[in-house]
């Protein structure tokens, strides 16, 4: 597939393969577009990623910050990670969440984003003030 084709240009066999490929990825809980875990920050198809606590997919309800082609949900853990970074807490010792917990990676993404330069982050900045505000919003949503 070196150039974009219309759907009509695919033969049935190719379409069947594509559906099988997607079914396989879905079974493995991976996004059929970016092939990352459905729990990872959404790509340009957020509806293919699990969002929120119920994980039913659908539209993103949590506010997001878009960095390049990635939309990070501003969850509590994400904001906590960013604030930890702003407070000078090192990445490798500050994460309060268990490895198995989705929130552990949210925390890491938040820490990464806050720690990166504007150049690293496609011109986006996630300041301490923004993180504090977003954390307050995330906590309110939980109540
Ligand atoms: Zn994706």
Q: What is the pLDDT of residues 50-92, one digit of tens each?
A: 754 444 444 446 889 999 989 999 999 999 999 999 999 998 8
Under the banding of pLDDT at 50, 70 and 90, the label for residue 8 is confident
Residue 49 and residue 79 in one domain: no
Cα of 109 from ligand 1 centre, angstroms: 16
Question: Which of the pair, 85 or 7, is modelled with greater confidence?
Answer: 85
Q: What pTM does this model have?
A: 0.58
Distance 58 CA to ligand 1 centre (A): 13
pLDDT at 120 over 50: yes
Q: What percent of the chain has pLDDT over 90?
A: 64
Place of tokens 């190719």: 14
Print burial letters for 117-130: b (CB count within 10 Å at least 16), e (below 16): eeeebeeeebeeee
Q: Are residues 49 and 72 in the same domain?
A: no
Tell me how far the alpha carbon of residue 126 lies from the centroid of ligand 1, in angstroms: 22
- Please provide the average confidence, as pLDDT, over all residues in the chain: 88
State whether 8 and 46 are in the same domain: yes
* In the block, residue with structure tokens 């910050």: 65
Residue-wise pLDDT for 98-118, tens only, equals: 999 999 999 999 999 999 999
SS (H, E, C) the chain: CCCCCCHHHCCHHHHHHHHHHHHHHHHCCECCCCCCECCCCECCCHHHCCCCCCCCCCCCCCCEEEECCEEEECCHHHHHHHHHHHCCCCHHHHCCCCCCCHHHHHHHHHHHHHHCCCCCCCCCCCCHHHHHHHHHHHHHHHC
Q: Are residues 74 and 142 in the same domain?
A: yes
Number of domains in the chain: 2
Domain residues for 3?
1-61
Give the pairing type, strands 70-73 and 64-67: antiparallel
Which tens digits make up the pLDDT trace of 12-22?
A: 999 999 999 99
Confidence of residue 2 (pLDDT cuts 50, 70, 90): low
Of 61, 82, 97, the one marking the end of a domain is: 61
Residue where a domain stops, chosen among 61, 78, 102 = 61
Separation of CA 88 and ligand 1 centre (Å): 31
What pLDDT score was predicted for residue 58? 45
């Amino acid at each position: 597939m070196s150039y974009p084709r219309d759907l009509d240009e695919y033969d049935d066999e190719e379409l069947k393969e594509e559906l099988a490929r997607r079914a396989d990825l879905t079974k493995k809980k991976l996004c059929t577009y970016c092939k990352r875990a459905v729990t990872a920050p959404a790509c340009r198809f957020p509806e293919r990623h699990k969002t929120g606590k119920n994980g039913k997919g659908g539209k993103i309800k949590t506010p997001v910050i878009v960095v390049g082609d990635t939309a990070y949900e501003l969850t509590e853990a994400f904001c906590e990670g960013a604030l930890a970074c702003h407070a000078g807490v090192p990445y490798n010792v500050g994460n309060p969440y268990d490895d198995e917990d989705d929130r552990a990676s949210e925390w890491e993404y938040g820490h990464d984003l806050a720690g990166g330069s504007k150049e690293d982050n496609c011109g986006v900045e996630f300041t301490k003030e923004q993180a504090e505000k977003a954390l307050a919003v995330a906590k309110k949503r939980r109540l």
